[in-house]
Amino acid sequence: MPALPAHLDRDVALARDRANPLRDRRDLFLLPEGTVYLDGNSLGALPRAVPERLQETVTAEWGRDLISSWNTADWINLPRRVGARIGGILGVSGEDVWVSDSTSVSLFKTMVAACRLRPGRRAIVLERATFPTDGYIAASVARMLDLELRWCDSADPVAAIDEDAALVSLTHVDFRTGEMLDLPGVTRAAHDAGALVLWDLCHSTGAVPVDLVGPGVDFAVGCTYKYLNGGPGSPAFMYVAPRLQADLDQPLSGWMGHARPFDMELGYEPVAGVGRLASGTPPVLALSALEAALGVFEGVDPAELRAASLSLTDYFIELVDVRLGGALEVVTPREHARRGSQVSLRHPDAYGIVQALLARRVVGDFRTPDVARFGFAPLYVTHADVYDAVDHLVAVMAEEEFRRPEYATRNVVT
């Protein structure tokens, strides 16, 4: 095997970690010793502050103070409070963000609300490579509102946008390839045609800073269990541009979105602002965990976050190129402007490769049909992790460990 170029050495990786201005953030997480965790793009690691906060919420707020905690612990305002924190990470006003439901439900609410703001227009445009739930929800919205579901190609989404488009709904960073779309450019083209835009930021927020205000994005939705580390099934956020909020008519108009829920009136009168996106009682335990988790982002400079992410993915790609010499295809774009915070490698035995790495305590995941995905959460993944992960990958490929019979059957969750 050719010698590794000096600049890719593990010592150089360690030096880069020492020079990272965000290096101390890793201590804010509880990470298992000896594991290289490259799956923060599926489930973020556990921030240290969460167990204590959950303990407090369960034993003191729920156990001792019981129902009075809706007022005394301000449970009722958790969706707004958590929304305000996420607004800080998104670079928008906290008043424009609401957190309450799963990503899928949040997509449903915002897609319907957007289409209702463009009556007379006939199409919802979304890309074929979208995350399945976005497509399934859009199909149902199209059936419900009698609209056309129009698929576009993510290489050129603008080609499918015309005067008939009510909504263009796209994923900013592709879950399979890690490719990042041109958010300002597509938003501009959609607006030029009179359509509204909705961006799914699941694979961006917390790792890839996005400017929503400059390009005038109308809606954004994103999960909080990936790079925001809110825990399994933590609720998603919805962003709505302030200019659209007064006319927002969302389809799940429950009592929590009413202007005066405890007046128990017969007629529905939505509260002003994004609070009208609420439907039912907020998930207090999940929101409490999420609120504590978001503390790890306090004071983080988005430019430093992006620089750390790109440095990690650059290093991973270069090591794979040099040490694996094309045995796995790097699917993720190499240009920074088109890359999120993950690197995807294509190989016919990708499932077995991911399992063999898992046995070596290097955690990535598999996406059908042939992609091994590695996510680089910039607050806790180090260059040394990257070096070690590729070292294990080299061993897995050299010994063909992915061929072991136990990897022939897929788990339910891959």
Ligand X SMILES: Cc1ncc(COP(=O)(O)O)c(C=O)c1O
Interface residues with ligand X (CB under 6 A) are 102-104, 131, 133-134, 171, 175, 200, 202-203, 223, 236
Which of 37, 108, 219, 225 is flagged as catalytic? 225
Closer CB to ligand X, residue 136 or residue 255? Answer: 136
Closer CB to ligand X, residue 16 or residue 109? Answer: 109
CB of 173 to ligand X, least distance (A): 8
Burial of 251 (0-12, 13-18, 19+ CB in 10 A): middle
Q: What is the DSSP-derived secondary structure letter of residue 332?
A: S
Which of 29, 37, 108, 131 is flagged as catalytic? 131
Annotated binding-site residue? 203: yes
CB of 65 to ligand X, least distance (A): 31
**Signed CA dihedral, 198, 275, 119, 132: sign only:** positive
Q: Do 317 and 278 form a contact (C-beta atoms < 8 A)? A: no
Annotated binding-site residue? 133: yes
- Is residue 200 annotated as a catalytic residue, yes or no? yes
Q: Do 205 and 227 form a contact (C-beta atoms < 8 A)? A: yes
What is the 3-class SS of 135-166, one letter each residue? Answer: HHHHHHHHHHHCCEEEEECCCCHHHHCCCCEE
Annotated binding-site residue? 132: yes
For residue 217 the two structure tokens come to: 């994005």
CB of 297 to ligand X, least distance (A): 20
- Is residue 219 annotated as a catalytic residue, yes or no? no
CB of 314 to ligand X, least distance (A): 23
Closer CB to ligand X, residue 61 or residue 200? Answer: 200
Annotated binding-site residue? 281: yes
Kindly give the interhelix angle for 78-90 and 284-293, rounded to the nearest 10 degrees: 30
Q: What residues have CB less than 8 Å from 68, skipping those under 6 apart?
A: none
- Is residue 109 annotated as a catalytic residue, yes or no? no
Closer CB to ligand X, residue 245 or residue 341? Answer: 341
CA pair distance 248, 257, nearest whole angstrom: 12
CA atoms within 13 A on the CB side of 265: 11
Which of 25, 118, 226, 339 is flagged as catalytic? 226
Cα torsion through 10, 13, 17, 18, rounded to 10: 70
CB of 200 to ligand X, least distance (A): 5
Closer CB to ligand X, residue 209 or residue 270? Answer: 209
Q: Do 290 and 228 form a contact (C-beta atoms < 8 A)? A: yes
Which of 101, 200, 370, 388 is flagged as catalytic? 200
Closer CB to ligand X, residue 108 or residue 315? Answer: 108
Annotated binding-site residue? 191: no
Which of 25, 219, 373, 402 is flagged as catalytic? 373
- Is residue 239 annotated as a catalytic residue, yes or no? no
CA pair distance 176, 129, nearest whole angstrom: 8
CB of 179 to ligand X, least distance (A): 12
Annotated binding-site residue? 103: yes
- Is residue 373 annotated as a catalytic residue, yes or no? yes
CA atoms within 13 A on the CB side of 356: 23
Give the active site residues: 131, 200, 225-226, 373
> What residue numbers does the annotated binding site for pyridoxal 5'-phosphate cover?
103-104, 131-134, 171, 200, 203, 225, 255, 281
> What residue numbers does the annotated binding site cover?
103-104, 131-134, 171, 200, 203, 225, 255, 281
